């Protein structure tokens, strides 16, 4: 089973059945519908760095966190730079990056925590969103994997950091790969393809040549392979199988909209009292 589309007032969250079944977390991947932003960012843009009106972004974020039973002073956001840095979120990080970029966690593309009530967030418009839940040690994570982050194996690094910091056993963890650009729409030229071919074995398993100097790369599959190599069983990984570029009526898509667009969010929070 993939992600489930759930209506929440005037918008939708995409959720992971295996995560919901644990009753340990509030979580979801947002869409572009039901917010206060206008123009290129219509309407539920959740990112400050794209050029949208900051007042509209704060209103959108407030709406989303309220739907998850939280508040902006518990939301944690980072300055995403397409790298592999993982930040361990503690209670004192509550509210960082929630109302502006000025106090966001710097140069970070993955957040992990075992503190109930800390609402982790990452922002996307084609890049791969990765959700992690350790139901044994009671810890959660989010990672942001664009093609550069995929090459740097941020997904695998996030699992390793959960093991180091929280003692997580990857074999007991649940993972989910949210909506992102699919191999149907992610086309690259030879220099980018060669970076993938040099980094990962068996490139034929995740790419398809069109015979005209272009290749279709399957970023969700590559990130799933990284999670499996990190020790997460394949049956514990949920794929959304939703392409943001194909479904740009529901999702913001950087490639489909030529860079002038908003961002949806992945969000996850351990519920209070679960530890």
At residue 100, the pLDDT reads 96
At residue 125, the pLDDT reads 97
Per-residue pLDDT of the chain (275 residues; tens, 9 = 90+): 799 999 999 999 999 999 999 999 999 999 999 999 999 999 999 999 999 999 999 999 999 999 999 999 999 999 999 999 999 999 999 999 999 999 999 999 999 999 999 999 999 999 999 999 999 999 999 999 999 999 999 999 999 999 999 999 999 999 999 999 999 999 999 999 999 999 998 888 999 998 889 999 999 999 999 999 999 999 999 999 999 999 999 999 999 999 999 999 999 999 998 76
What would the 3-class secondary structure string for the chain be? CCCEEEEECCEEEEECHHHHHHCCEEEEEECCCCCCCCHHHCCCCCCCCCCCCHHHHHHHHHHHHHHCCCCHHHEECECCCCCCCEEECCHHHCCCCCCCCCCCECCCCEEEECCCCCEEEEEECCCEEEEEEECCCCEEEEEEECHHHHHCCHHHHHHHHHHHHHCCCHHHCEEEECCECCCCCCEEEHHHHHHHHHHCCCHHHCEEECCCCEEEECHHHHHHHHHHHCCCCHHHEEECCCECCCCCCCCCCCCCCCCCCCCEEEEEEECCCCC
At residue 273, the pLDDT reads 83
The answer as to CATH 3.40.50.10490 being correct for domain 4-182+237-270 is: no
At residue 43, the pLDDT reads 98
At residue 11, the pLDDT reads 98
Predicted TM-score (pTM) of this structure: 0.98
Task: Locate the domains of the chain by residue range.
Answer: 4-182+237-270
At residue 274, the pLDDT reads 74
């Amino acid at each position: 089973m993939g992600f489930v589309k759930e209506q929440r007032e005037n918008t939708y969250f995409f959720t992971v059945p295996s995560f919901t079944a644990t009753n340990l977390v509030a979580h979801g991947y947002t869409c572009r519908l039901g917010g206060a932003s206008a123009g290129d960012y219509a309407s539920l843009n959740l990112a400050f760095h794209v050029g949208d009106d900051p007042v509209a972004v704060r209103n959108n974020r407030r709406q989303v966190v309220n739907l998850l039973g939280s508040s902006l002073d518990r939301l944690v956001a980072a300055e995403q730079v397409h790298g592999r840095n993982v930040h361990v979120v503690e209670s004192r990080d509550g509210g960082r990056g929630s109302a502006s970029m000025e106090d966001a966690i710097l140069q970070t593309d993955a957040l992990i925590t075992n503190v109930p009530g800390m609402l982790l967030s990452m922002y996307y418009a084609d890049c791969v969103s990765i959700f992690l839940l350790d139901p044994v040690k009671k810890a959660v994570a989010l990672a942001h994997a664009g093609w550069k982050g995929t090459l740097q194996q941020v997904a695998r690094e996030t699992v390793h950091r959960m093991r180091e910091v929280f003692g997580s056993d990857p074999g007991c963890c649940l993972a989910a790969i949210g909506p992102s650009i699919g191999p149907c729409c992610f086309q690259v030229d030879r220099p980018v393809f060669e970076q993938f071919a040099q980094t990962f074995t068996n490139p034929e398993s995740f790419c398809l040549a069109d015979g005209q100097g272009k290749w279709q790369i399957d970023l969700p599959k590559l990130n799933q392979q990284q999670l499996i190599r990190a020790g997460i069983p394949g049956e514990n990984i949920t794929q959304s199988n939703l392409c943001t570029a194909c479904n740009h009526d529901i999702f913001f898509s950087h490639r489909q909209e030529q860079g002038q667009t908003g961002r949806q969010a992945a969000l996850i929070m351990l519920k209070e009292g679960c530890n």
